[in-house]
Amino acid sequence: MQGRFKLYFNPQSRAAVVRWMLNEVGADYELVPIDFEKGENRTPEFLALNPMGKLPTLILPDGTVMTETAAILAHLADCFPEAGLAPAVGTSERATYYRWLFFAPSCLEPAGIDAMMRKDAPPLPKMALGWGSYDDVVDTIEERLSASTYVTGETFTAADLAIGATLWWFTMFGAPRIKDSAAIQRFVGRLTDREAFKRGQAPG
Ligand SMILES: N[C@@H](CCC(=O)N[C@@H](CS)C(=O)NCC(=O)O)C(=O)O
């Protein structure tokens, strides 16, 4: 794909996941540093781009504003088909890819944040929560990662990046069970060994 992407960036944010993906697909991009402490994500200029005041906020080469990490990963995978990070549309592999790509922000992420930030609070009713319970989510991921190398099978895709980046954050922040799970840690290790991940760790 032609043109330059502009990524509003803070290394301690989900924008780091998008930077990793931009490296995976070999995109041309620039980083615009955002300092949360200085409120740079709350200025009128920034809020005009993303009224949520959140990162990642990505400007596509044609000026379109994109937010929401998983959506950005999916779009970049489609824009750079030569990187091979999304199965063909309409296939069963694509269906499995979507399943895990959406599982990351709708189940894994809120379940883990709830488990870490509300650990002393009474549990919310399982039926009302999209993720059911934290243990169900971790059991589901563990089962999947025990059965195949990547979430969609034997090929690395953008869905692995969505799931893997979240599991990597959970490992660092001490989410329950994550560090002790051999299947999850094998997967996280495989992902953080990738060249594109390592390049994304350089100062931005
Ligand atoms: N739903 C968004 C979440 C974005 C988000 O919560 N970003 C955090 C950093 S990881 C943020 O910008 N926080 C700054 C703030 O809310 O002031 C996504 O999946 O990309």
Please list the pLDDT of the chain residue by residue as tens digits (204 residues).
789 999 999 999 999 999 999 999 999 999 999 999 999 999 999 999 999 999 999 999 999 999 999 999 999 999 999 999 999 999 999 999 999 999 999 999 999 999 999 988 988 899 999 999 999 999 999 999 999 999 999 999 999 999 999 999 999 999 999 999 999 999 999 999 999 999 988 886
Among 54, 69, 161, the mutation site with the greatest number of ligand 1 atoms within 8 A of its Cβ is: 54
Q: Where are the domains of the chain?
A: 4-84, 92-194
CATH fold group of domain 4-84: Glutaredoxin (3.40.30)
Residues 124 and 45: their CA atoms lie apart, in Å, by 38
Q: Which residue's C-alpha comes closest to atom 13 of ligand 1?
A: 54
**Token couple for 73:** 């990963």
Beta strand ranges found along the chain (DSSP E) = 4-9, 28-33, 57-59, 65-67
- CATH code: domain 92-194 is 1.20.1050.10
Residues 183 and 139: their CA atoms lie apart, in Å, by 11
Q: Which residue's C-alpha comes closest to atom 1 of ligand 1?
A: 68
